[in-house]
Chains A and B, each alone.
Chain A
């Protein structure tokens, strides 16, 4: 199973595919499912390559993404005349994925039923027994209320007549993201996607903690939601769904300087075992002195948006023993 995607900035290929091929895995045959937790650019880069290569995989997607409102939004911004941030290709990737799914559904009337499923609260995405070892994957979100909110949000993003063309609106909320729970051996893994805490009973992390379908057990491995942002923090999740001192994994998000120093300190109150996929700060590249001087004169502030790719590999054996490997762009905090 592949959950979300990002691209190797050098090869422009989906990193998940590169990684699996290095391990000798054949994506076309061995990848059984792909989860698209939400459409934001930092989670979907290269996903269309995965859909294209993993022909037999089941595609799970956040439930509002293949509804008319979001499809209208994607169709509008896939228009060659629309303005797209070249570095934020989220809708472009979604447009490519939709095109691939459309072609396959057009050729096979049963394709949608067999290969496409919306991920919603409490849905089992994978449940297999191999050599006495059970692996179960389930989606914990979005809730029905979050789905409704997402539909309304997508409707508001559809361009209006004569409206000035701008880059695709930056998403303001992450309430429709798909959080995932994995049971393997005797370990539990909680993948938080970008799901935020809304402090509303029926949306966000509150909806999961209060849900009748909340999984039993506590996660030993926790992928921190929304890059460690305070907006995704839930005391209840740490108290009821995550074991004490879990292995915590955080991905930095340069565009918003996440996680902040405060975020890191807050997370470290819960665990000392915290890894970040890139160093939180990057240096400015060297430019011609005349250019640098003029840039500094013309701007009040500057900072680079880093492109180094961190890689944390966590492996569990059949007894649940874990080993951790990381590349040079990973920081243990």
Chain B
């Protein structure tokens, strides 16, 4: 029985795997008894047979991190507005120019379709929103000029605030009473 140490593996090597490890033609390997194989296997398990570098994930398996944001919005103009009237499928609003504070307010009429469905329930008289105009950039898409209306989400009135107002008002009314 041949000793594995005496095998010239160059004679039995047929090819290498993708990690450049030699693959052996089993027909060309010397035959061993079951006992020898089992012994070898137990020895094999104890030995580190891999002489090539340890298995690890190849480099650069993840795509390189992009240096730019995937989506961006270049703001050109911002207004803060409030709804003054709702009439069927349109609403009227007064908007205050936040980009050019010296410009006068404008009264504008929007179609309700300009409001994203998520915000429709917030569309009420007196509701406050931001209206922004700018350029939207997304990777793989052409630049687009967009108008965006977004309603402010502010917590509702609390009992504490209402009670505090009532109490202070009572105090003031008594203070100002001339009689």
Residues in A lying within 8 Å of B, measured CB to CB: 66-69, 71-76, 79, 81, 83, 85-87, 98, 101-102, 105-106, 112-113, 116-117, 158-170, 255, 282, 284-285, 287-288, 290-291, 293-295, 297-307
Complex interface: chain B residues within 8 A of A168 (CB): 126
B60 at interface by CB-CB < 8 Å: no
Identify 11 residue pairs between A and B in the complex whose beta-carbon atoms are under 8 Å apart, listed by A's number. A68-B169, A81-B161, A87-B96, A112-B176, A158-B165, A164-B127, A164-B154, A169-B125, A282-B104, A285-B103, A300-B111
Residues B173 and A66 in contact, CB atoms below 8 Å apart: yes
Are A162 and B156 CB-contacts (below 8 A) given A71-B169, A282-B104? yes
| Residue on B nearest A288 in the bound complex, by CB | B76
Complex interface: chain A residues within 8 A of B100 (CB): 285, 287
The 6 closest A-B pairs by CB, nearest first: A166-B126, A71-B169, A75-B165, A72-B169, A298-B147, A162-B156
Identify 19 new A-B residue pairs, CB closer than 8 A, beyond the known A294-B133, A302-B109: A66-B172, A68-B169, A71-B173, A72-B168, A75-B166, A85-B94, A87-B105, A105-B175, A105-B176, A113-B178, A166-B82, A166-B125, A167-B127, A255-B94, A288-B76, A294-B147, A298-B110, A299-B110, A307-B104
CA distance A284 to B100 in the complex (A): 13
Residue among B84, B156, B178 making CB contact with A164, cutoff 8 Å: B156
Majority-rule SS of B interface residues: mixed
Are A161 and B162 CB-contacts (below 8 A) given A299-B108, A302-B108? yes
Complex interface: chain A residues within 8 A of B105 (CB): 87, 304-305
Residues in B lying within 8 Å of A, measured CB to CB: 76-77, 80, 82, 84, 90, 94, 96, 100, 103-111, 114, 122, 124-128, 133, 145-147, 152, 154-159, 161-162, 164-166, 168-170, 172-173, 175-178
CA distance A294 to B109 in the complex (A): 14
Residues B76 and A291 in contact, CB atoms below 8 Å apart: yes
Residues B165 and A166 in contact, CB atoms below 8 Å apart: no
Are A164 and B145 CB-contacts (below 8 A) given A79-B161, A300-B109, A304-B105? no
Are A159 and B147 CB-contacts (below 8 A) given A75-B169, A300-B110? no
Are A76 and B106 CB-contacts (below 8 A) given A105-B175, A112-B175, A165-B156? no
| Residue on B nearest A165 in the bound complex, by CB | B154
Complex interface: chain A residues within 8 A of B77 (CB): 287-288, 291, 295
CA distance A83 to B127 in the complex (A): 9
